[in-house]
Amino acid sequence: MNIKKDVIELVNKSEKEVKAEFEKINEICEYNTLKVLQAFQNNNISEVHFNETTGYGYNDLGREAIENIYSEIFNVEDSLVRGQFISASHALNVTLFGLLRPGDTLLSISGKPYDTLDEVIGIRENPSSLKSFGVKYEQIDLINDDFDYAGIEEKLSSKKIKVVEIQRSRGYALRKSITLDKIEKAISLIKKVNKDVIIMIDNCYGEFTNKIEPSNIGADILVGSLIKNLGGGIAPNGAYVVGRKDLINLVAERLTLPGEGKEVGPTLGMNKKILQGLFFAPSVVASSLKTAVLTSKVMENLGYKVQPKWDEPRTDIVQTIEFGDREKLIKYCQGIQMGSPIDSGSLPIPGDMPGYDDQVIMAAGAFTQGSSIEFSCDGPLREPYVAFQQGGLTYEYGKLGLMRAVDNIID
Ligand SMILES: *Cc1c(COP(=O)(O)O)cnc(C)c1O
C-alpha cells in the first residue's frame, strides 16, 4: 500500500501502548458472546429458523425466534426486530408515533436528538411531523457533558411529560457520549419524580460496548440499527425496538396495523442474516472498539485532540479527532476511503447535505450502503474541523485503514 515506514512504526508502537485496553475489550467481547450463544441455545435455533415467509408473513418461526433472542439479550419483555424498518431512523420515527398522541409532550434530556429526527419531531418544519399532529416537544441540554439533573427534576415536577428521550451516543454532536452510570442516575431520578414517564433510549452505536444495556438499568424501550452494531455487518438493513410488552405492541401496531401488530411481516430470506449478524456482533463491536482506541492513541501521539482518550471508558464505537485544519480533515477522510475494500478508487470530496449548514465530507467503503459498523469517517467542514470515525468489521483492517489515513495527512 506504499505506506511510509515511520507511519507503520508509529501505529505499531501505539498498538503496544494500548494493549491493556484491548484486554478489557476482549473480556467484554467474551461476556457478550456468552450472552448471544446462550440465547441461541435457549431458543433451540436450528436450520428451520433460516426459512423465509412471504406475503403476510404469518407464523414465521425464524422471526419469532429472533425476537425472543433479542428479548433475552436485552432482558426485556418483548422485541420487534424487522427488515420492514429501513434503519434506526425509521424505527425511531415509528416508535415516537407509536407512543405519543396529540397533546402529549416529548422531552429530550440529552440536548437536540440525532439529525434525522429534526423533521420527525418538527424541530424543522414538515407537514408530516409529530408537531403537525399536535405533539409537543421540549428539550433540556446537557451541562458539561452530563445531564442537567436539577433541570430534569424541575421540568418533570411542573409539567406532564409522556416520553423522555435519551440519546446514548454523541451522533454528530461535539458533546461526549453518555456513559451508562449517568443514564442510570437520570433514570432513577425520573422514575422517582414520575414513575409513569416512558423512558426511551436511542441506543445506536452503543450495543455490546459494555456488559449491560440501558434496559438492564430501568429504561422502558430501546431503539437501534441493524446496519450498526447488532447487524454485525451481515444484516442487509433493518432495526430493532425492545422493551416493555405494552409499548412494543403500540410500536408494532404502528409499523404494521392496529389489530395485527407483530403477527405479520414477511422475512423474505433475512432471518439467517439477522441471526448470523447477531452471532458476529460482539466480535465486530470489539474490532470497532479496538480500532477506535488505536486511532485515539495514534492521533494523540501525533498531537491532535481526540475524544474519547484511548484509556477512557467507552459507551459507543465513535471516535472523534479534532484536526483544526480543513485540509487535514479532508486528507484523513480521503485516506480512510483509499484504504477501504470497496470503492477504494473513489475520492470523497466535501459536498452539501440536506440538514447541514456546512459542507460535509464522508468516507465509507462499505459492503452495505450507509452501514457505519463498517469502517467509516466523516466530518462537517467547519471549525474546529472534527472527524467522526466509527466501525471496523475486523480490527486488522481497521488498523491498516488507519495507517492509510495517517499516511495521507503526513507529507
Ligand atoms: C446512526 C444513528 C441514528 C440513525 O440510525 P440509522 O440506522 O443510520 O438510520 C440515530 N441515532 C444515533 C445516535 C445514531 O448514531
Q: What is the mean pLDDT of the chain?
A: 97
Residue 184, number of CB atoms within 10 A of its CB = 16
Measured from the CA of 114, which atom of ligand 1 is nearest? Answer: 11
In this structure, the answer to whether residues 250 and 181 fall within a common structural domain is: yes
Q: What is the pLDDT of residues 98-147, one digit of tens each?
A: 999 999 999 999 999 999 999 999 999 999 999 999 999 999 999 999 99
Answer with the one of 243, 277, 311 that is the final residue of a domain.
277
**Helix 271-301 crosses helix 19-42 at what angle (to 10 degrees)?**
170
Rounded to an integer, what is the distance from CA 5 to the centroid of its chain?
35
Looking at residue 105, what is its pLDDT? 98
Q: Please indicate whether residue 229, judged by its CB atom, sits closer than 6 Å to ligand 1.
A: no
Measured from the CA of 318, which atom of ligand 1 is nearest? Answer: 15
Distance from the alpha carbon of residue 158 to the mean position of ligand 1, in angstroms: 31
Answer with the one of 277, 311, 334 that is the final residue of a domain.
277
In this structure, the answer to whether residues 242 and 292 fall within a common structural domain is: no
Nearest-CA neighbor of 72 among 99, 101, 39? 39
Q: Which domain holds residue 314?
A: 5-32+279-410
* Residue with the three cell numbers 440465547: 39
In this structure, the answer to whether residues 325 and 234 fall within a common structural domain is: no
Here the CATH number for the domain that contains residue 262 is 3.40.640.10
Q: Is the pLDDT of residue 351 over 90?
A: yes
Q: Please indicate whether residue 205, judged by its CB atom, sits closer than 6 Å to ligand 1.
A: yes
Q: Please indicate whether residue 375, judged by its CB atom, sits closer than 6 Å to ligand 1.
A: no
Answer with the one of 249, 277, 305 that is the final residue of a domain.
277
In this structure, the answer to whether residues 378 and 399 fall within a common structural domain is: yes
In this structure, the residue with its CA closest to atom 2 of ligand 1 is: 204
DSSP annotation of 239: E
In this structure, the answer to whether residues 294 and 167 fall within a common structural domain is: no
Distance from the alpha carbon of residue 13 to the mean position of ligand 1, in angstroms: 34
Q: Please indicate whether residue 364, judged by its CB atom, sits closer than 6 Å to ligand 1.
A: no
Looking at residue 354, what is its pLDDT? 72
How far apart CA 130 and CA 97 sit, in angstroms, is: 7
Distance from the alpha carbon of residue 68 to the mean position of ligand 1, in angstroms: 23
The answer to whether 167 touches 202, Cβ cutoff 8 Å, is yes
pLDDT band at 399 (very low <50, low <70, confident <90, very high): very high
Q: Is the pLDDT of residue 250 over 80?
A: yes
* Residue with the three cell numbers 485515539: 296
Measured from the CA of 225, which atom of ligand 1 is nearest? Answer: 7
Q: Please indicate whether residue 89, judged by its CB atom, sits closer than 6 Å to ligand 1.
A: yes
Average pLDDT on 308-337 reads 97
Ligand 1 pocket: which of 94, 114, 319 to mutate (most atoms within 8 A of CB): 114
pLDDT band at 328 (very low <50, low <70, confident <90, very high): very high
In this structure, the answer to whether residues 224 and 325 fall within a common structural domain is: no
In this structure, the answer to whether residues 81 and 18 fall within a common structural domain is: no
pTM (predicted TM-score): 0.97
| Stretch (H or E) spanning 180 | helix 180-193
Q: Which residues contact 327 (CB under 8 A, 6 or more apart)?
A: none
In this structure, the answer to whether residues 202 and 93 fall within a common structural domain is: yes
Ligand 1 pocket: which of 90, 116, 165 to mutate (most atoms within 8 A of CB): 116
Q: What is the pLDDT of residues 166-191, one digit of tens each?
A: 999 998 888 999 999 999 999 999 99
Ligand 1 pocket: which of 228, 353, 376 to mutate (most atoms within 8 A of CB): 228
Measured from the CA of 227, which atom of ligand 1 is nearest? Answer: 7
Looking at residue 355, what is its pLDDT? 62
Q: Please indicate whether residue 10, judged by its CB atom, sits closer than 6 Å to ligand 1.
A: no
In this structure, the answer to whether residues 285 and 395 fall within a common structural domain is: yes
In this structure, the answer to whether residues 297 and 248 fall within a common structural domain is: no
Burial of 216: CB neighbours in 10 Å, binned 0-12, 13-18, 19+: middle
Q: What is the pLDDT of residues 265-296, one digit of tens each?
A: 999 999 999 999 999 999 999 999 999 999 99
Average pLDDT on 387-392 reads 97
* Pairing between β-strand 376-380 and β-strand 386-390 as defined by DSSP bridges: antiparallel
Looking at residue 240, what is its pLDDT? 99
Residue 165 forms beta bridges with which residues?
A: 108, 200
Looking at residue 317, what is its pLDDT? 98
Measured from the CA of 90, which atom of ligand 1 is nearest? Answer: 9
Looking at residue 230, what is its pLDDT? 98
Measured from the CA of 92, which atom of ligand 1 is nearest? Answer: 10
Distance from the alpha carbon of residue 94 to the mean position of ligand 1, in angstroms: 14
Domain count, the chain: 2
Average pLDDT on 215-242 reads 98
Looking at residue 74, what is its pLDDT? 98
Average pLDDT on 209-238 reads 98
Here the CATH number for the domain that contains residue 24 is 3.90.1150.60
In this structure, the answer to whether residues 255 and 284 fall within a common structural domain is: no
Q: Please indicate whether residue 95, judged by its CB atom, sits closer than 6 Å to ligand 1.
A: no
Q: Is the pLDDT of residue 28 over 70?
A: yes
Looking at residue 358, what is its pLDDT? 86
Average pLDDT on 380-405 reads 97
In this structure, the answer to whether residues 220 and 266 fall within a common structural domain is: yes
